[in-house]
Structure 1
């Protein structure tokens, strides 16, 4: 007995609905490669797996037979069909249908998965790999519509028509045959690539190694050479001056000049545009003046500059010689569009039969072009003694075009190994004379196997950016793999195509760690491209001021031709939104994982947050390194997902559980960066196997404030581990850390120390409880050290705190509770990003946490105020403080705050009192002096 079709309890149809879609453009939480992520809701269909839908599987396979080859989790062909027969849910079916639709469009893809959404009955995450994101999105849309239609047919939905529309769209989006051939060769060599527009402009390689090409025009193709090749008259003159065989020719601008030139040259002649292409406007074998006059406007219409060439008509076969890097790589005989009679069908019918060849398409979308029947074709057929509705005798060839271009429906026959050596020399010399790295030399001669100088043939044209499809997909003969020499030109064997990429992620400290790494390699003379929450920095120049910790900024850095090393700060949001902006990173640094941004985008637990951040670890190749914080359990667990080697860093002392793990790791030849106590202080030590190499005392690193800023000690360990993993010499790592300060220009908005009217000011960007604990610990250590030095009694600590509006209420309160443990007085402000909250709501939650800590007896804080505006809150914190106090300002717009502090300094201090060595007051000088005093 058949199971009834699903019927909802209402007027709506049973529907598989897409709730959201996202495009990952690099490694992501679901896949190592780019993918489309759909969240779908089955609704009532959750109760109807495929085995309860009569005829569903059979109808689907009838429409898409290719599904029979899908292995699915069974692992053998037909596995997916078996899964449907046994019963699987329609989200899983949509995944396979989307993959198969892309297969129908020529995209060889097998990557996909479907997983239920945690805690959401009937909702599924559908992950589908892709080669072209626009095609993938269209495939996903059509897949959902097809699945719904098979459940309950919609008369308005015609799958055959929809599939045809989809395939045409995919063909428009696809690269042409020439571009695709080069791209496939580059991918086979592990050369990264980016599509720079919706056309055929592609970048191969990264940064300083990047090369670009469009079709067969490359970064090495000279603009002057292209101009010369586009000017057929100049090309003919240059070739003739070198003694190469060319037809007699003249350049004319009007029909009278064309007729006169034809008389001088002698019939038959050719009339063609001076700077046309693809054979458009070329009129051949003109045998009288009337034919010349009629052909002139046809040629002139296709000439961009209005000039027309009249040249002698050379008889023979049409050959295209492909010259790459000065060497002949392929030769094809081009045969004009034609049909061959069979004694049964008319010419028109033969054209239709020929165009039905699946290899033929419109324009350059396929390896052959469909024959176009226009007035010129009809007239040509008539000149051969036939009509379009006439039956042609068996074996007789009827031409439908005079030119042998592939774009007009012609075919090609490979003749690479048939050409006479003299002809090869002539073609190579022609390419060298014009100056093209990739050139198509068009020969007209009776036989390419005989010397063209003896048989009377000639070079009729030199083409820049010649098409490859006649060579890669000849109609007859062996295909030639001509993309290899093109890629060899751009990337000679052994030449690098990638720049080293260091990815830094974590809840706290990633910006400072990224800056430390960049500073180290800048000292080595590298041109570093860096992304961070402050913007994109290219060779120490801020080129974009914005939160640039996402994949788009990463791609921007890798496109810059100056960059020879990239340091990417990778934020949680960017990974969730688009994945990484590249395919892999040589070094991944994970500083820590703490409660921040929880409750957003489906990330509710620390384990889920760690799964997002470990994407950078999963993107490490076998030859790469993951620099991991051994003191964080969630980071420690990431080692199991790393294909490369692990470099541990730890603040823990010898004898701890973490150090025991590191000792064992090093005994097996691993690497680590740790702290060792010596008589002179705490030493950073790099360990590799049984070797231990002393790097620097922590108290001598300016960024650590004599070792009191433990978070920057940890950041220095991570930066040293990353630099050492990339092969930086020990002395350069040491020098980089010794010269990296938290001055505003090296580390804006991160632990900037300055003095305002006798008050010590720290400007930082701290926005979560874990970061506040580290910052509070520093404030306590720093104040204690100031008191030990007799700075004038007890050093009060005043804090200015805030957090973003997208945090959970309890997370905001926790920030306030932690701040209450370390500061005497706290000013609470609103964050610049309210993110849907009412003004003052964030500040009230933070203040609530402070009051709760006070009530529980865990608070050092005795006074709390709420001042919502950041600059006004800054002013209030400074008003509360007295000379000798420590004021910690957690700010968003650090540039504006620093400007306000500078203004207050000028007001508080007369200009003459701040002159040193003849210099008037300079706020940067004060900041640097303060930093030097701390490390003296």
Structure 2
């Protein structure tokens, strides 16, 4: 019998299980029925909650063949105590099922009561209730509490909160928010929408897996796609519009950072990082992405969905909520049905983008006017543009503003770093010919694609671009499974590169050993028929890029995917221009 605790964590905002704060415990279970374990855990949780005097909120159970996730909601000032209670209930359930001694029940209850008393914050709860009365969002963490958002916000130290009577509520307000999630295209979509906001004369606050920024100012680099990033950007009093990328990890670890939003988008959903936080299947992952619906349900805001994603289509069939669909296929039956019902859709037809609401259709712009589509070669960025246009329309932006922003948004390292950047660079001096008439340049396509779904889209783009030969430098993080890494290798190999180098990512081994991933990729390439002279490996990404550039000739196309050391690589490529 295996009863292993995978994780037990507190949830601070709307999440997969409920709209409120709470706690969830993920467990791996084998050798005993999941139902038997859940029944025992349920009894232990109920007993402990009754003893500490907590209101008996529903217990949310999600099961799968390998285990279960066990969750319940809690007061916002008692989530740490709730997490400890959940863990104690699990430990007692395991002891009962395995026939070992359970911990002293009275001692557990005494410790929990002491923790609850210490954590309890009546002042925070009063402020939260007052904020609801005034229809304001409240952002809270261990250090700071904020009422209102962006330009309409005010913050206090968590230990020095005012009473509701001391707050000047007339000075506080919310700012509009858009939530962006999906497997691929999140960051590009967020940057596109932020560009539209800026073009409309408003100051955007943007969170992403790369950084947080206000307007053009990057406040910090790193993964800020969780609730912490949302709180940070929405406390900045310059922000007039929040564009919040919401990734799977942040939603599962802590939930969302806001309780309301005006619109949201799910770009697509593909298999990635399965096995973490109780997410075992694509269906589970789709459930997670639809977490962004919870803040939209409060406001009635529109959810924009990709009609070309069968998983999203299937899930949406059970929803009763305002939707807007987008598609690369003008003949999509999903679009046709939704439009006939009076709904809004955005689609591609003969190189042109249209937006329709019921019987009214508007031409927006031509695909070749949008730089990131590379004249239509980058179909995944056409899809991203469709989704953002639909999102912007449902947020009230005019066609004029949307078109101006999309025309001005370049696929370069300034506007969209690491996402479909297409560069033309001079050959290294050693690779040039003596004939000054000959072309002395090569092309580089840089993308952060980190899963098979994203890589397939990038490779489709690459095959549509002119090239004499193709070369590849690819990297993989250790959190991917062996099969995911091999599948990504097979995807890239389909473009038939004359040289394929795999670069080690020393800072992203994720408990793998040095050399393990390159050896796996090389083994897969050899199975695909690649020989020694066509395969390379490097200890770092910059080394891999340098070795590949030594091999390029005029007219070649070098693809760089999944690499770190971005600053060093870009500096090296920039140096080729000198």
Matched-pair contact (CA < 8 Å) for 1:797–1:886: yes
Matched-pair contact (CA < 8 Å) for 1:776–1:823: no
What residue is the counterpart of 1:113 in the other structure?
Answer: 60
What residue is the counterpart of 1:734 in the other structure?
Answer: 403
Q: CA deviation at 1:182?
A: 3.6
Q: Does 2:519 match 1:844? A: yes
Task: Pick the aligned partner of 1:32 from 4, 19, 32.
Answer: 19
Given the superposition, is the C-alpha separation of residues 165 and 844 from structure 1 closer, same or farther in structure 2, using an over 3 Å criterion? Answer: closer
What residue is the counterpart of 1:440 in the other structure?
Answer: none
Q: CA deviation at 1:598?
A: 3.0
What residue is the counterpart of 1:93 in the other structure?
Answer: 43
Q: CA deviation at 1:108?
A: 4.7
Task: Pick the aligned partner of 2:569 from 865, 889, 897.
Answer: 897
Q: CA deviation at 1:511?
A: 1.1
Q: Deviations over 1:200-220 (max 9, x none)?
A: x632222222234579988xx
What residue is the counterpart of 1:644 in the other structure?
Answer: 321
**Where does 1:823-842 land on structure 2 (aligned, <5 Å)?**
823-825=496-498, 826-832=500-506, 833-842=508-517
Task: Pick the aligned partner of 1:795 from 461, 465, 468.
Answer: 468
What residue is the counterpart of 1:661 in the other structure?
Answer: 334
Task: Pick the aligned partner of 1:881 from 552, 557, 565.
Answer: 552
Q: Does 2:436 match 1:753? A: no
Q: CA deviation at 1:601?
A: 4.1
**RMSD after superposition:** 3.4
Matched-pair contact (CA < 8 Å) for 1:555–1:581: yes
Give me the whole-angstrom Cα distance separating, in 1, the residues matched to 2:29 and 2:383: 48
Matched-pair contact (CA < 8 Å) for 2:30–2:66: no
Give me the whole-angstrom Cα distance separating, in 2, the residues matched to 1:722 and 1:112: 35
Task: Pick the aligned partner of 2:183 from 490, 507, 524.
Answer: 507
Which residues of structure 2 form unaligned runs of 5+? 427-440
- Structure 2 residue matching 1:806: 3-state secondary structure: coil
What residue is the counterpart of 1:552 in the other structure?
Answer: 228
Give me the whole-angstrom Cα distance separating, in 2, the residues matched to 1:667 and 1:535: 41
Give me the whole-angstrom Cα distance separating, in 1, the residues matched to 2:533 and 2:457: 21
Give me the whole-angstrom Cα distance separating, in 1, the residues matched to 2:308 and 2:288: 19
Q: CA deviation at 1:527?
A: 1.6
Number of aligned positions between the proteins: 557
Q: Does 2:377 match 1:695? A: no
TM-score by length of 1: 0.55
Given the superposition, is the C-alpha separation of residues 155 and 137 from structure 1 closer, same or farther in structure 2, using an over 3 Å criterion? Answer: closer
Q: CA deviation at 1:733?
A: 0.6
Task: Pick the aligned partner of 2:152 from 209, 213, 216.
Answer: 209
Give me the whole-angstrom Cα distance separating, in 1, the residues matched to 2:280 and 2:105: 43
Given the superposition, is the C-alpha separation of residues 630 and 18 from structure 1 closer, same or farther in structure 2, using an over 3 Å criterion? Answer: closer
Q: Does 2:540 match 1:869? A: yes
Give me the whole-angstrom Cα distance separating, in 1, the residues matched to 2:31 and 2:381: 54
What residue is the counterpart of 2:252 in the other structure?
Answer: 576
- Structure 1 residue matching 2:478: 3-state secondary structure: coil
Q: CA deviation at 1:140?
A: 3.3
- Structure 2 residue matching 1:127: 3-state secondary structure: strand
Give me the whole-angstrom Cα distance separating, in 1, the residues matched to 2:372 and 2:32: 59
Q: Deviations over 1:575-619 (max 9, x none)?
A: 222222222432221111223223444434322222222222344
Q: Does 2:443 match 1:768? A: no
What residue is the counterpart of 1:195 in the other structure?
Answer: 140
**Where does 1:438-477 land on structure 2 (aligned, <5 Å)?**
none
Give me the whole-angstrom Cα distance separating, in 1, the residues matched to 2:371 and 2:247: 26
Give me the whole-angstrom Cα distance separating, in 1, the residues matched to 2:536 and 2:277: 33
What residue is the counterpart of 1:129 in the other structure?
Answer: 73
Q: CA deviation at 1:651?
A: 0.7
What residue is the counterpart of 2:310 in the other structure?
Answer: 633
Matched-pair contact (CA < 8 Å) for 2:409–2:415: yes
What residue is the counterpart of 1:185 in the other structure?
Answer: 130
Q: Deviations over 1:309-367 (max 9, x none)?
A: xxxxxxxxxxxxxxxxxxxxxxxxxxxxxxxxxxxxxxxxxxxxxxxxxxxxxxxxxxx
Give me the whole-angstrom Cα distance separating, in 1, the residues matched to 2:28 and 2:222: 36
Q: Does 2:492 match 1:819? A: yes
What residue is the counterpart of 1:167 in the other structure?
Answer: 113
Matched-pair contact (CA < 8 Å) for 1:35–1:128: yes
Q: Deviations over 1:683-741 (max 9, x none)?
A: 11111111111111001111111111111111111111111111011110111101000
Give me the whole-angstrom Cα distance separating, in 1, the residues matched to 2:91 and 2:335: 54
Matched-pair contact (CA < 8 Å) for 1:96–1:112: no
**Where does 1:530-569 land on structure 2 (aligned, <5 Å)?**
530-569=206-245
Give me the whole-angstrom Cα distance separating, in 2, the residues matched to 1:216 and 1:838: 45
Which has the larger Rg? 1
What residue is the counterpart of 2:429 in the other structure?
Answer: none
Q: Does 2:450 match 1:779? A: no
Give me the whole-angstrom Cα distance separating, in 2, the residues matched to 1:207 and 1:831: 37
What residue is the counterpart of 2:349 in the other structure?
Answer: 676
Give me the whole-angstrom Cα distance separating, in 1, the residues matched to 2:479 and 2:346: 35
Give me the whole-angstrom Cα distance separating, in 2, the residues matched to 1:666 and 1:820: 40
**Where does 1:54-93 land on structure 2 (aligned, <5 Å)?**
89-93=39-43
Given the superposition, is the C-alpha separation of residues 108 and 528 from structure 1 closer, same or farther in structure 2, using an over 3 Å criterion? Answer: farther
Given the superposition, is the C-alpha separation of residues 892 and 47 from structure 1 closer, same or farther in structure 2, using an over 3 Å criterion? Answer: closer
Give me the whole-angstrom Cα distance separating, in 2, the residues matched to 1:767 and 1:155: 45
Give me the whole-angstrom Cα distance separating, in 2, the residues matched to 1:605 and 1:579: 19
Give me the whole-angstrom Cα distance separating, in 2, the residues matched to 1:519 and 1:635: 27
Given the superposition, is the C-alpha separation of residues 154 and 517 from structure 1 closer, same or farther in structure 2, using an over 3 Å criterion? Answer: same
Give me the whole-angstrom Cα distance separating, in 2, the residues matched to 1:24 and 1:627: 25
Give me the whole-angstrom Cα distance separating, in 2, the residues matched to 1:819 and 1:712: 19
Matched-pair contact (CA < 8 Å) for 1:763–1:894: no
Give me the whole-angstrom Cα distance separating, in 2, the residues matched to 1:43 and 1:777: 42
- Structure 2 residue matching 1:548: 3-state secondary structure: coil
Q: CA deviation at 1:179?
A: 5.2
Given the superposition, is the C-alpha separation of residues 18 and 887 from structure 1 closer, same or farther in structure 2, using an over 3 Å criterion? Answer: closer
Matched-pair contact (CA < 8 Å) for 1:630–1:648: yes
Q: CA deviation at 1:183?
A: 2.9
Matched-pair contact (CA < 8 Å) for 1:795–1:886: yes
Q: Deviations over 1:749-773 (max 9, x none)?
A: 1222322221112222122222222
Q: Does 2:481 match 1:808? A: yes
What residue is the counterpart of 2:169 in the other structure?
Answer: 490
Q: CA deviation at 1:516?
A: 0.6
Give me the whole-angstrom Cα distance separating, in 1, the residues matched to 2:408 and 2:157: 45
Q: CA deviation at 1:848?
A: 3.3
What residue is the counterpart of 1:23 in the other structure?
Answer: 10
Give me the whole-angstrom Cα distance separating, in 2, the residues matched to 1:870 and 1:569: 27
**Where does 1:570-609 land on structure 2 (aligned, <5 Å)?**
570-609=246-285
Q: Deviations over 1:557-589 (max 9, x none)?
A: 222222221112222222222222222432221
Give me the whole-angstrom Cα distance separating, in 2, the residues matched to 1:692 and 1:48: 52
Given the superposition, is the C-alpha separation of residues 807 and 167 from structure 1 closer, same or farther in structure 2, using an over 3 Å criterion? Answer: closer
Give me the whole-angstrom Cα distance separating, in 1, the residues matched to 2:118 and 2:252: 30
Give me the whole-angstrom Cα distance separating, in 2, the residues matched to 1:673 and 1:98: 52
Which residues of structure 1 form unaligned runs of 5+? 1-7, 9-14, 51-87, 219-464, 469-482, 784-793, 907-936
Give me the whole-angstrom Cα distance separating, in 2, the residues matched to 1:888 and 1:849: 19
Give me the whole-angstrom Cα distance separating, in 2, the residues matched to 1:695 and 1:624: 22
Q: CA deviation at 1:45?
A: 9.7
Give me the whole-angstrom Cα distance separating, in 1, the residues matched to 2:403 and 2:509: 42
What residue is the counterpart of 2:432 in the other structure?
Answer: none
What residue is the counterpart of 1:291 in the other structure?
Answer: none
Given the superposition, is the C-alpha separation of residues 97 and 144 from structure 1 closer, same or farther in structure 2, using an over 3 Å criterion? Answer: farther
